[in-house]
Amino acid sequence: MEVRGPAERPWTTEERFGSDVRKNWELWNFDVVEAFFQLRTHDGDVRAPYLEVQISPLKQGLALVILEPRKAYYTPLTLVWHPQNTVVAGLWKTRVELELPSEFPEGDLWGGLFACLGSGERDFYALNPNPEPRPDFHRPELFQRFF
């Protein structure tokens, strides 16, 4: 993903977050890009679990397996992922290679790509924008088919 932020402000980050993707709760309150990945057995299978991965400009990450949006989720015990970040002034490029957790079923890959930027009043960007003004990206019915 490539994000162009406002040149007049630095990226909104927090040094306190570490490298353990299971422990960076509230990373989403700062500048992050998010990717949601869901394997579906058929197009309408919006109840399948999905993986949410967040990454900050400082290469801090958070990973969650979502069983039911906003109700049931857990941090995967292991996640094989290799994030790469390049940050220069108002341009941030990130690339993440990962393996979906082994408990995910076989199926077609669906999901979404998002950027949540700023603190206080935030700006939200998406591959497939949500219809509401303050978007809730945990809406599998709005995910797009990747493969």
pLDDT value of residue 83: 87
Average pLDDT for the chain: 90
pLDDT value of residue 146: 92
The DSSP annotation for the chain comes to -EEE--TTS-----TT--S-TTS-TTGGGSSEEEEEEEEESSTT-TTS-EEEEEE-TT--EEEEEEEETTTEEE--S---EEEEEEEETTEEEEEEEE---TTSPS-EEEEEEEEEE-SSS-EEEESS--SSSS-----GGG-EE--
**Is the confidence at residue 142, as pLDDT, over 80?**
yes
pLDDT value of residue 93: 93
pLDDT value of residue 70: 92
Mean pLDDT of 35-50: 95
**48-91 per-position pLDDT tens digit:** 999 999 999 999 999 999 999 999 999 998 888 888 999 887 88
The more confident residue out of 44 and 119 is 44
- Residue 47: pLDDT band (50, 70, 90) is very high
pLDDT value of residue 140: 95
Q: pTM for this structure? A: 0.91
**Is the confidence at residue 103, as pLDDT, over 90?**
no
In order of their start, the domains of the chain are 2-145 (2.60.40.1190)
Mean pLDDT of 98-111: 89
